[in-house]
Structure 1
Amino acid sequence: MSKQTKNISRTTTTQIGSRKGGEPIVSLTSYHAHTAAIVDKYADFILVGDSLGMVMHGMDSTVGVPLDLMIMHGKAVVRGTEQALIVVDMPFGSYEESPNVAFRNAAKIMKETGCGAIKIEGGARMAETIRFLVERGIPVMAHIGLTPQSSNVMGGFKTQGRDKETWPTHIADAQAVSEAGAFAVVLEGMVEPLAAKITKEITIPTIGIGASATCDGQILVLEDMLGMNPWTPKFVRVYGQLGPMIEDAVQRYANDVKLRSFPNSDETYS
């Protein structure tokens, strides 16, 4: 007989796909088990984003994030959650070379983390790879518009679609990833009218970040919306001020240590 395992009912990619035009899809990033456990109660999917390179490890961009780092953080998030679909970013250099390389690395991510899907950046140029992965059992979330891994050739982190002449390219990207089999697509740093048009014209859910409230869902970097970063992008609404709270707590702790008021008798083994 096969060994029975705990049946955990997680949100599936099919369920996310079925939300097109329906109840908005809620998502946040998370990089570790304890924050993931909190987000898990409210999010439909959690993205283990390569933004962890900048947020957690002090990198200047996402380009330097290695595959093993994504796997390590992906494992932690999966361990800390029970309900949300977990999507792990494929880092720069792990999928662009060929569909075969992409499959090998995507399979490694899914087998070692236990996540339910991967995300890759790029529109029409990645359609062949998306189709290749999906046909071999790997669910793919696409990512178009402002693609941080390509910031070096895009001239930095620039809002996309300000020039209406570029709209056909972005629309073609969205249609290409949809037709290739992606179950959803992130629209990042995109002017609202363009994001709204794409959302209306394609058949898969759009997940906005700096895009439009008309998208089928929204995602933010958790640390951004908690006020933990010194600079906040325009598209972020800050729902907490954990940065100042943490600094205040650390300062009070340091003072108590210097005054020898910590630990006191209640905090000491006699």
Structure 2
Amino acid sequence: MGSDNTPSRITTRSLQLRRERGQAISMLTAYDFPTAKFLDEAGIDILLVGDTVAMVVGGHETTLPATMDQMIYHSEMVGRAAKRAMVVVDLPFPEGQLQVSRSIEAGARVLQETKCHAVKLEGGAEQAPRIEAMVTAGIPVMAHVGLRPQNIHVDGGYRVQREQEKLIHDAKAAESAGAFAVLIECVPESVAAAIHDAVSVPTIGIGAGGGTTGQVLVTHDLIGLTAGYTPKFVRTYASVGETIRQAAEAFRQSVEDGSFPGPDESFK
């Protein structure tokens, strides 16, 4: 606990200690203040302001429409809500693909304009110089290997990544460049376990089986607040979408039959 009776903040160092002690790490997405507040109070270790906001909030088919200004807007809300969790922000397309200086500027915006703590960068060994430059500039970086949603048009869709030797090379290069953790997306369980064993930093899996240090899911998938395809690797823990529909239907009916507002909801 902190000196003011607030929970101790999760940091890159405490995450590394988790890995060394064999302790699991939990990570969920957040895009707004109330969601981030509830997730933080639930003890989630890392909140990810993902470029998935373009899909699950914005209704787009890919993550590509997310802009840097939008990421800052959502990150500012999440960063204000999180008292214990580390908050990591995706660098949206094409911030991680242009000049290295552009990525440094984008990462600096995250640290300066929000209360967030790190960025996540998609890519493998080819991103090592960018990771090293950003870390040298004081910007903590979580690497992202395996399925790369920003690369969807090159890859021809979302598919399981099975190239174990390449993925291990990618993860080790990211670690050597200074990444404090590696997110592994949509790979066979055995491949993810091999990646985990090849590096010493924490690994966070999504669709990667149980051999990683931690797990991440998109919160909207977790709580059943989706309107489309649910990936195989998702476990749905609640049906919030159905609850919203039922509540809205009940409200409509009460308005139509005149029972709302009643005496308790009216001023005298």
TM bin (shorter chain) = over 0.9
Out of 170, 174, 181, the residue aligned to residue 171 of structure 2 is: 174
Distance in 2, matches of 1:102 and 1:18, equals 28
Aligned equivalents of 1:195 and 1:121: distance in 2? Answer: 16
Distance 2:26 2:8 in 1: 17
Counterpart in 2 of 1:187?
184
Q: 1:68 maps to what in 2?
A: 69
- Inter-partner Cα distance in structure 2 for 1:81 and 1:201: 32
Deviations along 1:112-161, whole A, 9 cap, x unmatched?
A: 01211011100101110000011111000010100101111111111111
1:18 Cα deviation after fit: 2.2
What CA deviation, in whole Å up to 9, does each residue of 1:158-196 have, x standing for no partner? 1111xxxx2211111011101111000100011111001
Residue in 1 aligned with 2:159? 158
Shift of 1:257: 0.8
- The answer as to whether partners of 1:13 and 1:116 remain within 8 angstroms in 2 is no
Partner of 2:44: 43
Is the Cα contact below 8 Å between 1:30 and 1:48 reproduced in 2?
yes
* Contact 2:9–2:83, Cα closer than 8 Å, also in 1: yes
Name the SS of the counterpart of 2:248 in structure 1.
helix
Paired AA for residue 33 in structure 2: A
Q: CA deviation at 1:232?
A: 1.4
Partner of 1:114: 115
Q: CA RMSD in A?
A: 1.5
- Give the corresponding residue for 1:209: 206
AA paired with 1:39? L
Q: Does the residue aligned with 1:87 lie in a helix, a strand or coil?
A: strand
* 2:90 corresponding residue in structure 1: 89
Once structures 1 and 2 are overlaid, which stretch shifts more, 202-211 or 227-236? 227-236
How many angstroms does 1:8 deviate by? Answer: 7.8
The answer for the alignment partner of 2:143 in structure 1 is 142
Is the alpha carbon distance of 1:233 and 1:176 closer, same or farther for their aligned partners in structure 2, counting shifts above 3 Å? same
Correspondences of 1:13-24 after superposition (within 5 Å): 13-21=12-20, 22-24=22-24
CA distance in 2, matches of 1:18, 1:156: 36
- Which whole-Å CA distance do the structure 1 matches of 2:57 and 2:117 have between them? 23
Identify the residue that residue 54 of structure 1 maps to in structure 2.
Answer: 55
Once the 2 structures are TM-superposed, how far is the Cα of residue 77 of structure 1 from its aligned partner?
Answer: 0.4
Count, aligned residues: 262
Q: Map of 1:118-133 to 2, 5 A cutoff?
A: 118-133=119-134
- Of the structure 1 ranges 14-23 and 38-47, higher mean CA displacement relative to structure 2 is found in 14-23
Query: 1:221: how far off?
Result: 0.4
Structure 1: gaps (5+ residues) = 1-5
% same residue: 41
TM-score normalised by length of structure 2: 0.95
Gaps of 5+ in 2: none
Shift of 1:38: 0.9
Alpha-carbon distance in structure 2 between the residues aligned to 1:50 and 1:184: 18
Q: Say if 1:269 and 1:190 are closer, same or farther in 2 by CA, change over 3 A.
A: same
TM-score, normalised by the number of residues in structure 1: 0.94
In 2, Cα distance between the equivalents of 1:168 and 1:233? 25
Paired AA for residue 190 in structure 1: V
Q: How far apart in 1 are the matches of 2:165 and 2:7? A: 42
Native 8 Å contact 1:13 1:117 kept in 2: no
Which residue does 1:3 correspond to in 2? none
Deviates more, 1:116-125 or 1:229-238: 229-238
Conserved? CA contact 1:142–1:185, under 8 Å: yes
Equivalence for 1:266: 264
Please name the residue that 2:33 is paired with. Answer: 33
**More moved, 225-234 vs 211-220:** 225-234
Distance 2:235 2:6 in 1: 36
- Matched with 1:225 is 222
